[in-house]
A and B are shown apart, each in its own frame.
Chain A
């Protein structure tokens, strides 16, 4: 048994850290915040060249056939940089197509994602604000060998730049998942402005959007998306939280009040120790869940819910405490702390909020 990263995994982490430190500095993040599209084509292409976009995709699609632990490593680093990018929803959708898609769907999307020429997303939420498949109202209607989808999807990450959207919809008694081309007739995307401009969201309205009837991914694709999305979001939140902890500790060493560094005061030091505890526990939760899902362990789904439920709270607390440790400077727009604070917060309600995952946990363990 070994909980530590392998040397290859550590290398991936180090090289991602080095790349993002150089190419996604806070100044670049702020430029993208002000950008209408919110992400950078050049950066996306570089991610493709680094092999990040195809990391978990098969080699014949141009990927590296690595797993969820490696993906989580990158997601943590992207969160640490508060990198504005549709990385999470794109690789999530691609993993689902790889697992459940038809050969034609795989051929159509996987090489394009790996090469950086396509982006994808996942439309899990509707009016009911419930993350369960039973709450899906979007429905599929057979029309002349094709299927027409109608419904409204809310808070869809990065839908305005996506080429393909995975859309859960009712068909008969079950909820299946359709791959919908974003440019197809009957698909309207309305971007929203949110608190974290590095996590773009949009409403997606489907008005008889046509897809091939055989294009549905099976019902289990829904849980797959929610579980892996939850772990990916938790990994990003972990990265944001660790960045906030590191910044706080550095600041507490140099900021002086009453003639001493504030880190020598127990009020500050104890807060930093609590932050470290939350960050280390979050690390254990994220990577345990990534490993359990990747290896097909019995408790993979449970661990994904544990990770999201735990890290949601932990990351919010750590990033918030970082502002408190910094005092007034932490509340200014020019200081970078709020980049990470907002990233962690933006991911809280996505891919299942803590309440939903706690309920999933109870359903699994209290029968």
Chain B
């Protein structure tokens, strides 16, 4: 056990830190074009798609180097690169499962963010039970005709392409009849409607597909292999980048302490109140434990161990922590924590939420509710941990007993 960085990693960190200090934009990036330009600058410096193999346009960086870069980015308060789903999950999926032609066609434009990507997985009646999805892709001559509805599509409103899960064979058990496509979002038959969330903002969308086209050459893997491919994608997502996330929490903690010095209660600063101090200590301890746990996961990745089902522990841990953390922050700040405009300067300072959006304490608090739902809810993660990490017996489930979705059958959840 040795948690010191190697000399090479230390050198890489110093060099990365210096680069971000020199290059981080001094003004807020407002438009997509401005953000794309910043993305491009990072790409050219080699900080986008770092883990991708060199022959695919990446630099074959180690997990440690990727974590260091993400951490330095968070430390410098740098705007995140765009096309996160494309670079983080969809590109790697194409690299693993795609044809030579698909790699040639799509990968470079994902890295440069010339084409933006989204993920078309969840449906109104298929959330936790994703494999029950009902969007159809029917082979008709030279292409597939796609009909159905997707929901919780982040970035759908700016996406050029999406990775789509659709049912190509309704006659086989539900996990076996799903295929995975690269799907053009800019075509007739695709309608994107922003979904207004409890934050008041619209990071997510609904996507309606009516007689839309998926080309045969855009099928990823084999017909019916979609579920298996989706598992790899969700695996990338659950692994997450925990180090950088903790760095963001830590910068929020510093802002919280500043506010606790400024706000007074009962004639003294909050920071001098023993009850507040106990809460601050608890929040900080939990946050540090997230950091230690992230180091442990990183160390395993670095050795080439695949986290597998254990990545569910990471996802469960940080998302549940984040909820408790911002709850505690708002508790400490009292009514100031909920002010989004017009309050003290110290209490309306920007906070980086895990969505990468810099906004208010209130926004971070609200956004934290998403983390325990998206990408497999906490309950689903606990099922995975129970079955696949602890080896507890599988629960008896109706879909496992009957072995699939029958044609025309209505899932119980759809009956209202």
**Contact of A260 with B by CB under 8 A:** yes
Please tell me if the beta carbons of A272 and B386 are within 8 angstroms of each other in the complex.
yes
**Contact of A305 with B by CB under 8 A:** yes
Partner of B3, one of A1, A9, A285: A1
- Of the listed stretches B51-59, B139-147, B149-157, B392-400, chain A binds B392-400
Please tell me if the beta carbons of B300 and A3 are within 8 angstroms of each other in the complex.
yes
Please tell me if the beta carbons of A1 and B9 are within 8 angstroms of each other in the complex.
yes
**Contact of A266 with B by CB under 8 A:** yes
Please tell me if the beta carbons of B395 and A269 are within 8 angstroms of each other in the complex.
yes
- Of the listed stretches B160-168, B173-181, B375-383, chain A binds B375-383
Please tell me if the beta carbons of B4 and A1 are within 8 angstroms of each other in the complex.
yes
**Contact of B263 with A by CB under 8 A:** no
**Which A residues, 111 to 158, have Cβ-Cβ distances below 8 Å to chain B?**
none
Q: How many Å lie between the Cα of A170 and that of B300 in the bound state? A: 48
Most chain B CB atoms below 10 A, which of A273, A276, A280, A295: A273
Please tell me if the beta carbons of A273 and B3 are within 8 angstroms of each other in the complex.
no
Known: A253-B392, A269-B382, A273-B385. A366 touches B257 (CB 8 A): yes
- Of the listed stretches A43-51, A217-225, A353-361, chain B binds A353-361
Q: Mark B14-30, 1 if CB is under 8 A from A, else 0.
A: 00000000000000000
Among residues of A, the one whose C-beta sits closest to the C-beta of B4 is A1
Please tell me if the beta carbons of B392 and A365 are within 8 angstroms of each other in the complex.
no
**Which B residues, 284 to 300, have Cβ-Cβ distances below 8 Å to chain A?**
284-286, 288-290, 292-293, 295-296, 298-300
Please tell me if the beta carbons of B292 and A263 are within 8 angstroms of each other in the complex.
no
Partner of A1, one of B274, B298, B392: B298
Q: How many Å lie between the Cα of A264 and that of B393 in the bound state? A: 5
**Contact of A69 with B by CB under 8 A:** yes
Please tell me if the beta carbons of B282 and A288 are within 8 angstroms of each other in the complex.
no
Please tell me if the beta carbons of A1 and B5 are within 8 angstroms of each other in the complex.
yes
Please tell me if the beta carbons of B285 and A309 are within 8 angstroms of each other in the complex.
yes
Please tell me if the beta carbons of B394 and A2 are within 8 angstroms of each other in the complex.
no
Contacts of B271 in A (CB 8 A): 366
Looking at chain A's contact residues, is the secondary structure mostly helix, strand, loop, or mixed? helix
Partner of B299, one of A4, A281, A362: A4
**Contact of B2 with A by CB under 8 A:** yes
Q: How many Å lie between the Cα of A305 and that of B390 in the bound state? A: 30
Please tell me if the beta carbons of B293 and A358 are within 8 angstroms of each other in the complex.
no
Contacts of A55 in B (CB 8 A): none
Contacts of A297 in B (CB 8 A): 3
Among residues of B, the one whose C-beta sits closest to the C-beta of A256 is B393
Contacts of B316 in A (CB 8 A): 273, 277
Partner of A365, one of B253, B292, B382, B396: B253
Q: Mark A278-291, 1 if CB is under 8 A from B, else 0.
A: 00110111011001
Please tell me if the beta carbons of B389 and A276 are within 8 angstroms of each other in the complex.
yes
Known: A269-B395, A273-B381. A280 touches B281 (CB 8 A): no
Contacts of A69 in B (CB 8 A): 1
Partner of B386, one of A263, A358, A361, A366: A263
Please tell me if the beta carbons of A281 and B5 are within 8 angstroms of each other in the complex.
no
**Contact of B370 with A by CB under 8 A:** no
**Contact of B302 with A by CB under 8 A:** yes
Please tell me if the beta carbons of A310 and B4 are within 8 angstroms of each other in the complex.
no
Please tell me if the beta carbons of A359 and B277 are within 8 angstroms of each other in the complex.
yes
Residue positions of B touching A, CB distance < 8 A: 1-6, 9, 64, 253, 257, 260, 271, 274, 277-278, 280-282, 284-286, 288-290, 292-293, 295-296, 298-300, 302-303, 313, 316-317, 379, 381-383, 385-387, 389-396
27 CB contacts below 8 A, A to B, read A1-B3, A2-B1, A2-B3, A2-B303, A3-B300, A6-B1, A9-B1, A69-B1, A249-B392, A264-B392, A264-B395, A264-B396, A265-B395, A266-B386, A269-B382, A272-B386, A284-B292, A284-B295, A288-B295, A295-B2, A295-B3, A305-B285, A357-B281, A357-B285, A359-B274, A359-B278, A359-B281
Residue positions of A touching B, CB distance < 8 A: 1-6, 9, 69, 249, 252-253, 260-261, 263-266, 268-270, 272-274, 276-277, 280-281, 283-285, 287-288, 291-292, 295, 297, 302-303, 305-306, 309-310, 355, 357-362, 365-366
